[in-house]
Structure 1
Amino acid sequence: TLTVASFAQERTVTGTVTASEDGLPIPGASVKVKEAPSVGTTTSADGKFSLKVPANGRTLLISYLGYNTQEVAISGSSVNASLVLDSKTLDQVVITAGGVTIKRREQGNQATTIRAQELTQAKAFNVASALTGKVAGLQVNAVSSGVNPNVRLVLRGNRSLLGNNQALVVVDNVIVPNNILGNLNPEDIENVEVLNGAGAASLYGSDASNGALIITTKTGKRGVTAITVGQTVNFEEVSFLPQLQSEFGSGTGNDDVPTYTAYENQQYGPRFDGSMRVIGKPLVDGSIQTVPYSPSSQGKDAFWENGLSSQTDFSIQSGDDKGSYYLSSQYFDQVGTLKNDDYNRFTLRLNGRRDLGNGVEFTFNTNYIQNRYDLTTATSAVFDNVLQSPAQIPLTTYQDWRNDKFANPNGYYNEYYQNPYFSIDNNRQQTRNDYLTGNVQVKWYPIKPLSFLFRVSLNTQNYSNKGWTNQFTYSAYRKALTSNFNNIQGSVNDGSGYSTQINPEFQAQYIEKITKDLSLNVILGASARSNTGKGVNVSAGSLVQPDLFNISNTVVNPGAGESNSTVRQMGVYADA
């Protein structure tokens, strides 16, 4: 008897999802197996996906917000899809550049709208984080680490090797610096309109040649009074660390028999055996530290702390048949995964609109933001110091370097690298940022199809920062013991400045529906923009007295610098 058995196997299917209107990749699109709904994935930043499909899987369901869901037959190991915009989306009324309200199908450029629910459903603590993966072709890349990192916003790829590739950010018709996205309260946002094409530049000039993000905040709803209070707490931990061996301890050398070196940072010594071994060199009082020769539970993997963020939100809105108002406040506090790193933010917003009668509407938006940073300036050095710690070293026991003789730089075991806790405390920077953004506008309808708008907007930032490296003098005994360390002379720097933008604007718009299928929409406008800024910084090295971070505390001449700028732009625009 001959028996033949066959076993169905799953296979891997890969592909790319793009937008039909421009052929560019769509990140965050959902890809599921129709016959097995629990099996699915999402596309990466470049629109690609890889999915293990069960034997009974024959069709992929591919969907993305604002696009029609597409069914694609699995005919091989590669499946590509091109999604088409939903017709209902084309009939949506959107607020685009200059605060103009039109139907999406009437736009002359590609645009994507992100609603409030999409931004807040994951409880992101700032708008920059909330936008990640929400818009096809929008890259939100962190350019710094730690608490509240800065981000770069790039739409549809880089256009220049040396120039600015970032998208322009406009909040309530006010052009703002991109770093304000890390400080906006997501709960205040009504929607975000992402303009990908050259239409953005037609109003905002060359600043918007890389596209624009038009952010509209809430103004309350007529006939609705509501009070909202919220509290959100998030915990954070390091997702992964370099995988290092944990079988051998301190030592160097290329000989066949590994040699133990008590003060060595490299791990080429003998295999761990659990015995007690000394680390470092004897201190001036003759004492020396002894630890078990085995991987320590207090080692470098335990160095990183659990981050914690707490966000408290409050808002009240009210309205009647003549207008509406919206008041909100938020306090956000974040403690990072690196010891003593802290960031906090306070925001206050007041928006409103009022019908003054006789075809006149008055609208205002104001937003105040303040944030404070207290960070170490030696993050990369700290990370290196941690990695240069052999597995048997109880690293987290060296936090109190001021009082623990084995944690102090004069007694630390490592002959080549500093105690990372000392590096954290000895190199600090405190930063203060205050932002004020707002605008007032009056819109008049002399006749129903025609409107005239006059608007004045303001955006100003005031900042200051102070950084220092504290002085430290090694003992004569430590320097005689090793030549690897030099006294830390210490330094201090102070900086402050401001930037202010004022932008008056006039706009006339005529909208009339001529026939069922034909309408007329003409816009004429003029805008003037004035930007002024100033920055001052001073610095000094070779501090005389430790722990005194004052520019006059030096034996050398301080350095200083100042920058001043004034830029004015004027423009006219028309669209029909």
Structure 2
Amino acid sequence: MKKLLLSLFMFLIFASVALAQNRTITGIVTGKDDGLPIPGATVKVKNGTAGTTSDVNGKYTLRISNTGSVEIEFSSIGFTTITRTLAASATTLNGSLENDSRILDEVVVSGYGSGRRVSSIVGSVTTVNAKTVENKPVANAFDAMQGKVAGLQVFTSSGEPSASSSLRLHGVGSLGASNTPLYLLDGVQVNEGSIVSLNPNDIESVSVLKDASATSIYGSRAANGVLYITTKRGQIGTSTITVQSQYSVTNNANDDFYKNTLNTAELSALQVRQGLRTQAASDALLAQYPNDFNWYDYYYKKDAPVYQADLNVSGGAGKTSYYVSGSYFKSTGIMYRSGFDRITFRSNINTKINDYIQFGINLSAGTDNRQSNQYNSNSVNGGLSLLAQPWFSPYDANGNEYYGVLIPGLGRYSPRYLQDVNPYNGNNLQFNPTGYIEIKPIKNLTFKSQAGMDGYIYRETFGRLPSFVGGLGAGTLNETYDRNLTKTWTNTLEYKFSFDQHNFTALAGQEYVDGTRNQFSGSTVGLPTDDLFLLQNGTATNRGVSSSLTEYAYKSLFGRLEYNFKNRYYLDGSVREDKSSRFGANKQNATFWAVGAMWRIKQEKFLSEVSWLDDLVLRASIGTSGNSAIGNYESLATASASGNYNGNFGLATAASGNPELGWERQRKTSVGVKSSFLNRIRLDLEYYFRETSNQLINVPQPFTTGYATVRTNIGALQNKGLDVTLDFDVLSPKALKGAYITPYFNANFNRNKITELFQGKNYYILPNTGVLWAIGQPVSFSYPMWAGVNSANGLPQWYLPNSGDGIINTRTDNAAITNSFSAAGLAQNTGIERYPWLNGGFGFNAGYDGFYTSVDFTYSKGKYLINNDRYFFENPTTFAGFNQARGVLDYWTTPGQDARFPALTQQFTQFDSRLIEDASFIRLKSLQVGYNFKQNLLNKTKVVKGARVFFLARNLLTFTKYTGPDPEVDSNLALGNNPNTKQVGFGLQLTF
């Protein structure tokens, strides 16, 4: 019995010792940059066997058999691995992981609810960080995104400093409604004009939501994709003051067109051959005006300045973070009285009241002044100014400019004078406040209510001063006041839960959006003096006034469910119910949905040991969305005032309306694969198929109805394409003392095809555009097809088209040629597509020992434009006497000659296929070279935490075959456009 008791006693002692040597440790794994939890992170004993993974909230539990100190290793895909020492007897250890520069796993906003890491998002989301959009010498932040996101086409069509960019994601999704993506600023809808009023240096990131899984939760507004802009926040525990200033100069991005006109000798000789004047008369003219003047340098300024200054204070203490900034931007355009200056202020405050409640408020306000040159199109004082004959000069013999008088011989006023006496000024007040409160009543449940608005007041003033010598004492004035306010209120409830290795996130929400726009304007004539340039001082009988009010609203309910198993297999689904005031009473509601899946294949056992493969992810999604981007009252029959009738107020019908008008619908299917290998190469491929039906098209009506068109749901369109994104490390930062070289390339291949039209038509030519819609074909150009100059007699020739519906098939039969021109009778499908089939960008980032550089090219292939400028500059017989492009000298004179233009007895240029030019281009979009001063040098100041200087350039080089001023114009036709510009400058940034 004693032996039995002794044995039992010894067993209990050894058991207690063994139990004492086992410990259960817990903790949370978060990202060092943002403090957000990292699900699926591996936590294990270094060089041991014990290990586990973190749950959806980043928490882990690990049982180890050691009471002493032990090293614990934390790792996760997209983060650098760290090792931390667990002290003896300690039971809690947290891990904070840094982003791996090779496989960045950033946190992005891809819809409602909390931010999610890229590695856990099923949808296709591309994020552009602050470095892409900041420190650019233009007001428009989106201009800097050109060529940076596969599938996102960004074109800037004007050199006006206040110009906005046109954006298109995955082709043209609608033939009748807008193709502009939805812009969200910190979760609140804003219009594209608000982007120009935003300081790009306040942007933290722009997330581009591309596929149905990512966009469909936005339902009614997501047919063209979503761009989610997140502004900067402060970090608790830090405090920084950043001051930055930059200066650059602006010039024309590509001046080949302007340097291609005839000089005095060439033009005078041509006009003598035309018979416009005899040689003696020409000699006498040139004796009176002995000049060979370059009008390009006169109408377009050189080295127009651009200034920008920024000051921001950011940081946080306790439970509150802050980011406060102010900026000033001023840019002068290359045309006279073309300019833009902007002042902005932003204050982003976030605070945590307790463990359950936090709130934040973002206040953004600004004012900007805009001046635009009013002669930038079909005007000899602007876009067509180089028609001026070179023997005339705007300066007298003493070098004094003719200002306020007609230029002798030319009969025009100085462009400076014209702009001074015909001013256009716009002032914009912008206000974008956003506020939220977030409550966590129980564990893993988050309620968030957010409200915000996009508001602006724009005042436009333009007219003619009474001092204008062409109309002394008869000034005119027009003023317009435009107040636009869009309000958004969103409430969401998000719940995260998990068991075993099954992780769920459920979200439900409600949203209300309404917009109101008030406008009124006044006009007057007969103003007597510049000092009384006010509306009330015009002639009492010649005053006008008008006003308008438009409103719209959306009501929405939505939900999303996300599931993943082992952070390896992912599924998500979303549904949204939308109601829009823009549609007929019985057509206002629509339901949109999406489902998506993702498989992190690299985590499978059959690939986990493949050392050269770092990551491999397969994703797919399908879903629907809607488009309602039309006028506010197009479903309603409306009336307008028709003036007095027999002394009484009268009304007349304005639009027929369409009570059956409803949602334009779209379905999008995407399949993508994302991979990284050899610790240096990253490749992302995505195929998509986009179908649009029930398009919102203005369908032509018989004139007997009294209406030219009626908006109708009809027609179908397809887009299909492939996105390719590739970047790789030639040198990794860890390879050679921080040296790195990372080239990148991205491309979008897209084809569109019309599959249904209206009224049983097989094709339709949009009036006055040269654009053809034909079933079974892409959107194309329709013009008479040029057949060249008849070398025997010098007559121009065109191909005869097929008859009837055969017009949609290109015919270039040498046996069917005519020299009798008819714009309508000879029009046919040129076979040239309206939209480019390839867009993208390439470049590289590099740095070493404090020096860094970034080089970004953008390109577009298969882009075509109707170069309407050539109709004026290659038509010496139609526009006799005006200057011309040098190419007109290649005209027919003798039988057998192969000439570009016909004989001088013929019209050189008609509106035919010759004007449709290949406007494909490659542009050096951005170049920046800088130096970050070393920390050991800055530490000596005891004040400066960081300092850098940088050189910057935009649109520095342009390569194109297009002969017009600018190939980037996003239109079917270009005529007298204010051309795109390039900037070169430098900047300085100091951080305290």
Could you say which residue in structure 2 is the equivalent of 1:438?
433
Could you say which residue in structure 1 is the equivalent of 2:394?
395
Distance 1:507 1:472, change over 3 A: same
Query: Is structure 2 residue 451 aligned with structure 1 residue 456?
Result: yes
Could you say which residue in structure 1 is the equivalent of 2:229?
215
Q: d(CA) in 2 for partners of 1:183 and 1:399?
A: 45
The correspondence for 1:346, drawn from 340, 343, 357, is 343
Q: d(CA) in 1 for partners of 2:232 and 2:288?
A: 64
Q: Deviation of residue 112 (structure 1)?
A: 0.6
1:202-246 deviation per Cα after TM superposition (whole angstroms, max 9, x unaligned): 443422221111011111112111000000111111231421122
1:68-119 deviation per Cα after TM superposition (whole angstroms, max 9, x unaligned): xxxxxxxxxxxxxxxxxx9976854311223531233443432110111222
The correspondence for 1:141, drawn from 123, 144, 155, is 155
Unpaired stretches in structure 1, ≥5 consecutive residues: 1-65, 67-85, 263-268, 280-292, 476-485
Structure 1 window deviating more from structure 2 (564-573 vs 307-316): it is 564-573
Could you say which residue in structure 2 is the equivalent of 1:356?
353
Q: d(CA) in 1 for partners of 2:124 and 2:390?
A: 55
Q: Deviation of residue 487 (structure 1)?
A: 8.9
The one-letter amino acid of 1:437's match is N
Secondary structure of the equivalent of 2:420? helix
Q: Deviation of residue 320 (structure 1)?
A: 2.5
1:476-495 matches, within 5 Å, as: 490-495=475-480
Q: d(CA) in 2 for partners of 1:420 and 1:260?
A: 32
The correspondence for 1:528, drawn from 509, 512, 533, is 512
Structure 1 window deviating more from structure 2 (236-245 vs 88-97): it is 88-97
- Alpha carbon RMSD of aligned pairs, Å? 3.3
- The answer to whether the 8 A contact 1:189-1:217 is kept is yes
1:1-37 deviation per Cα after TM superposition (whole angstroms, max 9, x unaligned): xxxxxxxxxxxxxxxxxxxxxxxxxxxxxxxxxxxxx
- The answer to whether the 8 A contact 2:325-2:345 is kept is yes
- The answer to whether the 8 A contact 1:302-1:396 is kept is no
Q: Deviation of residue 512 (structure 1)?
A: 2.6
Q: d(CA) in 1 for partners of 2:150 and 2:339?
A: 33
- The answer to whether the 8 A contact 1:300-1:396 is kept is no
Distance 1:550 1:124, change over 3 A: closer
The correspondence for 1:277, drawn from 287, 301, 323, is 287
Q: d(CA) in 2 for partners of 1:471 and 1:316?
A: 48
Could you say which residue in structure 1 is the equivalent of 2:7?
none
The correspondence for 1:231, drawn from 210, 229, 245, is 245
Could you say which residue in structure 2 is the equivalent of 1:164?
178
Distance 1:257 1:314, change over 3 A: closer
Could you say which residue in structure 2 is the equivalent of 1:365?
362
Distance 1:511 1:299, change over 3 A: same
The one-letter amino acid of 1:210's match is N
The correspondence for 1:110, drawn from 120, 124, 138, is 124
The one-letter amino acid of 2:288's match is V
Q: Deviation of residue 253 (structure 1)?
A: 4.5
Could you say which residue in structure 1 is the equivalent of 2:976?
none
Secondary structure of the equivalent of 1:376? coil
Secondary structure of the equivalent of 2:133? helix
The one-letter amino acid of 2:543's match is P
Q: Tell me the number of residue pairs that the alignment of Structure 1 and Structure 2 aligns.
A: 454
1:125-167 deviation per Cα after TM superposition (whole angstroms, max 9, x unaligned): 4312222221112122224442221222211121112211101
- The answer to whether the 8 A contact 1:89-1:104 is kept is no
- The answer to whether the 8 A contact 1:258-1:270 is kept is no
Structure 1 window deviating more from structure 2 (89-98 vs 219-228): it is 89-98
TM-score (norm 2): 0.43
- The answer to whether the 8 A contact 2:421-2:468 is kept is no
The one-letter amino acid of 2:387's match is Q
Distance 1:260 1:304, change over 3 A: farther
Q: Deviation of residue 433 (structure 1)?
A: 0.6
Could you say which residue in structure 1 is the equivalent of 2:382?
383
Q: d(CA) in 1 for partners of 2:547 and 2:354?
A: 50
Distance 1:256 1:348, change over 3 A: closer
Q: d(CA) in 2 for partners of 1:175 and 1:430?
A: 27
- The answer to whether the 8 A contact 1:360-1:443 is kept is yes
Structure 1 window deviating more from structure 2 (384-393 vs 215-224): it is 384-393
Distance 1:138 1:420, change over 3 A: same
Query: Is structure 2 residue 146 aligned with structure 1 residue 132?
Result: yes
Q: Deviation of residue 332 (structure 1)?
A: 0.5
The one-letter amino acid of 1:436's match is F
The one-letter amino acid of 2:353's match is L
Could you say which residue in structure 2 is the equivalent of 1:512?
497
Secondary structure of the equivalent of 1:563? strand
- The answer to whether the 8 A contact 1:399-1:421 is kept is no
Secondary structure of the equivalent of 1:206? helix
- The answer to whether the 8 A contact 2:113-2:494 is kept is no
Distance 1:398 1:387, change over 3 A: farther
- The answer to whether the 8 A contact 2:180-2:224 is kept is yes
Distance 1:412 1:442, change over 3 A: same
The correspondence for 2:262, drawn from 235, 238, 245, is 245
Query: Is structure 2 residue 556 aligned with structure 1 residue 557?
Result: no
- The answer to whether the 8 A contact 1:219-1:326 is kept is yes
Computing the radius of gyration from Cα coordinates, the structure with the larger value is: 2
Q: Deviation of residue 337 (structure 1)?
A: 1.1
1:385-423 deviation per Cα after TM superposition (whole angstroms, max 9, x unaligned): 6313222433366999xx96x5443x4213554433332
Q: d(CA) in 2 for partners of 1:163 and 1:398?
A: 56
Secondary structure of the equivalent of 1:333? strand
- The answer to whether the 8 A contact 1:300-1:395 is kept is no
The one-letter amino acid of 1:499's match is N
Query: Is structure 2 residue 336 aligned with structure 1 residue 322?
Result: no
Query: Is structure 2 residue 411 aligned with structure 1 residue 426?
Result: no
Distance 1:491 1:200, change over 3 A: farther
Secondary structure of the equivalent of 2:382? helix
- The answer to whether the 8 A contact 2:392-2:408 is kept is no
Q: d(CA) in 2 for partners of 1:398 and 1:565?
A: 57
1:302-313 matches, within 5 Å, as: 302-305=298-301, 306-313=303-310
The one-letter amino acid of 1:393's match is F
Q: d(CA) in 1 for partners of 2:522 and 2:515?
A: 24
Q: Deviation of residue 521 (structure 1)?
A: 1.1
Q: d(CA) in 1 for partners of 2:151 and 2:397?
A: 46
Q: Deviation of residue 574 (structure 1)?
A: 0.3
Query: Percent identity, aligned pairs only?
Result: 24
Secondary structure of the equivalent of 1:162? coil
1:41-60 matches, within 5 Å, as: none
Structure 1 window deviating more from structure 2 (360-369 vs 249-258): it is 249-258
- The answer to whether the 8 A contact 2:467-2:529 is kept is no
Q: d(CA) in 2 for partners of 1:466 and 1:110?
A: 45
Could you say which residue in structure 1 is the equivalent of 2:727?
none
Distance 1:399 1:226, change over 3 A: farther
1:349-369 deviation per Cα after TM superposition (whole angstroms, max 9, x unaligned): 000211111321112111012
Distance 1:323 1:379, change over 3 A: same
Secondary structure of the equivalent of 2:112? helix
- The answer to whether the 8 A contact 1:248-1:270 is kept is no
Could you say which residue in structure 2 is the equivalent of 1:178?
192
Could you say which residue in structure 2 is the equivalent of 1:483?
none
Secondary structure of the equivalent of 2:433? strand
The one-letter amino acid of 1:300's match is Y
- The answer to whether the 8 A contact 1:300-1:391 is kept is no
Q: d(CA) in 2 for partners of 1:385 and 1:398?
A: 26
- The answer to whether the 8 A contact 2:495-2:506 is kept is yes
Q: d(CA) in 1 for partners of 2:397 and 2:142?
A: 37
The one-letter amino acid of 1:318's match is G
Q: d(CA) in 1 for partners of 2:415 and 2:481?
A: 30
Query: Is structure 2 residue 111 aligned with structure 1 residue 97?
Result: yes
Q: d(CA) in 2 for partners of 1:178 and 1:209?
A: 16
The one-letter amino acid of 2:521's match is N
Which structure has more relative contact order (CA 8 Å, sep 6+)? It is 2
TM-score (norm 1): 0.71
Q: d(CA) in 2 for partners of 1:532 and 1:399?
A: 57
Q: Deviation of residue 339 (structure 1)?
A: 2.6
- The answer to whether the 8 A contact 1:466-1:494 is kept is yes
